[in-house]
Structure 1
Amino acid sequence: MTVLVSISAMVFTILIVIVVLFQLALALGMPWGSYAMGGKFPGKYPPGMRVGAIVQAIVLLAIAAIVLSRSGLFVPSWDWFANKAIWFVVAFSTISTVLNLITRSKWERRIWAPVSVLLLVTSVIVAVG
């Protein structure tokens, strides 16, 4: 893989780790609900949403593993899977970007929309690289 693909995979992973930490903070009761899910749950998440935040964190870590594998930086032997699964990551990133751009939560648009755009761009670079 090229240097651009490797850098993109690392940027993607750093951003995903930030999002994972945010999700885990929500799950642990941080009152940041207005910064997620369109601001539907301002303050602390209710119990069901906390479980959902944990599930989302796990999914995001799996997505990061796909990107890292596709780039050859993590478990390159998964390339048979990652070469196809990377397109799921691109689709996921596209949907995430659209949702973060159209959300009613101004804070979500200001914080997570740029992150989503960067995740989309770096996932596409890794996918086509």
Structure 2
Amino acid sequence: MTVRDRHEDFVAGHPMFPGESNDSSPLLTVRIRFTPNLPVVRLSGELDIASLHLLTDALDSVAAASCPGDLVVLNLAGITFCDVAGLRMIEMCAATLAAADKELILYDAPPQLRKLIKITGVAQHIVHR
């Protein structure tokens, strides 16, 4: 089965505290939607040092997947908090995707995240839409 045949969502979450039951809301939810033309990775919640591994795992799996296109969309509309560690991880994931001949596009970043990118200069070279 190729990515082209898969249209379901993959969802991963990070519990608030280690050892906490899965009944609580995760700090970060990652959804990967494989469409026929490109993968869309949608983040909801807080992107910080405690949840970076979820973004890394998601974009690593997208880079390894056999997708027909060379674009990967990172939908940031649901981000409620992001620190500089989160921005640096986005930058590192973009580099990983570039090594796999794919381009990361940041989509619908909230105003506070766009401001953080502008202030810090981190991830500002990544395409924003």
TM-score by length of structure 2 reads: 0.32
Choose 1 or 2 for highest CA Rg.
1
From the two aligned structures, give the one with the greater strand fraction.
2
From the two aligned structures, give the one with the greater helix fraction.
1
TM-score by length of structure 1 reads: 0.32
